[in-house]
Structure 1
Amino acid sequence: MDELFVAQNVMRLQKLGVTHILNAAEGNSFMHVNTSAEFYAGTGIRYHGVRANDTEQFSLSAFFEEGADFIDKALAHNNGKGE
């Protein structure tokens, strides 16, 4: 299934039980997924985006800590202990 289609299909995400989305390709140009916190507003889905480019020159490591923090909060939420 096309991941872009699923990421932009809120009803499908809710049906799948998705509560959090970490988008490491945020943006609206080629090879990006055009979603944002505003896109998911009012859906109950929490969102964190990183405007990363899929190139050898882009260092995604600068975003590891904030991504890991978001994942930790998502896991705590899904275990009934957090946001």
Structure 2
Amino acid sequence: MVNLSYNKNRLLPTAEELPCSDETPVDNQLQNDIPNLLLSLLAFIWAERDDWYFGVDMGIYYNPDEPAIIPDG
């Protein structure tokens, strides 16, 4: 068991302090371009609507009691 000490006076890290990438590309350029194109088209077509959402590369887990199955392991 790991025992971690907690300092309630310490602030949470800022966005600059948190890692945002490990510099290892996961997707190729086409896998980035296609969702961006689709988002642009939907934003143009549905410009007058505010009842839609577009999400890419999101982990949504149906059953929180079962482990997630993701490609990154």
TM-score by shorter chain over 0.5: no
For normalisation by structure 1, the TM-score amounts to 0.27
Give the TM-score, by structure 2 length: 0.30
| Larger proportion of helix | 1
Of structures 1 and 2, the one with the larger relative CO (CA 8 A, separation 6+) is 1
Larger radius of gyration: 2
